[in-house]
Chain A
């Protein structure tokens, strides 16, 4: 099956700093990628839809100026958490559909962010 990678797999940063998370589709092109957030013992919550070459679409309640998304190519989307705070500590997961099929969403392994 198709592979989606994320980097880093875990990161610790200090409050007030920014951190960038990369999501790559390794063996397929994806015009659309998605970013989810998952808190402990909870389900995945969609944060935003990343579109190659255009602005991301954010879900209600997600601050677009805090969670900057850039989808610069058909294989790379980045999520930057700006001015991170401890409440931003979470498991961030990206996913993508291969352009042109198949009809299955592929997920990255996730990035564990801890803000101290």
Chain B
């Protein structure tokens, strides 16, 4: 799977939007962009994924650059419960049931 680059940490005020960036300049045409997050002392949980178009779900939005070399996870209104490590992971659509490979992710702190 292609490599991603994320900032080590970010900070946000509660109830403000948060934009978490991810660079993936070597992404291939068949790579999906996945985001998972890991709350303290818990297993990771799925957040969102996309291929080319922007995606929205109840948790977040995913904005994908036109050249697909970067993407941004958007939390529209950060809460204290959103404090977690966020992982941006590329997976080829043909990779089947292969395990996710985690990088270092971005540690998001939310300030009340």
Give me the interface of A with B, judged by CB distance under 8 Å.
Answer: 1, 4, 6, 31-32, 34, 36, 43-46, 49, 91, 93, 95, 97, 103-110, 112
6 contacts between A and B (CB under 8 A): A36-B99, A46-B99, A49-B99, A95-B43, A107-B43, A107-B44
- Say whether chain A's binding surface is mostly helix, strand, loop, or mixed: strand
- Say whether chain B's binding surface is mostly helix, strand, loop, or mixed: loop
Number of residues from B at the complex interface, CB < 8 A: 19
Contact of B43 with A104 in the complex, beta carbons under 8 Å: no
Binds A, one of B64-72, B76-84, B100-108: B100-108
Bound state CA distance, A9 and B5, in angstroms? Answer: 32
Chain B residues in 8 Å Cβ range of A44: 38, 44, 102
Chain B residues in 8 Å Cβ range of A45: 102
Instruction: With CB as the reference atom, state the residue of chain B lying closest to A44.
Output: B102
Contact of B43 among A43, A46, A103, A109 (CB under 8 A): A109
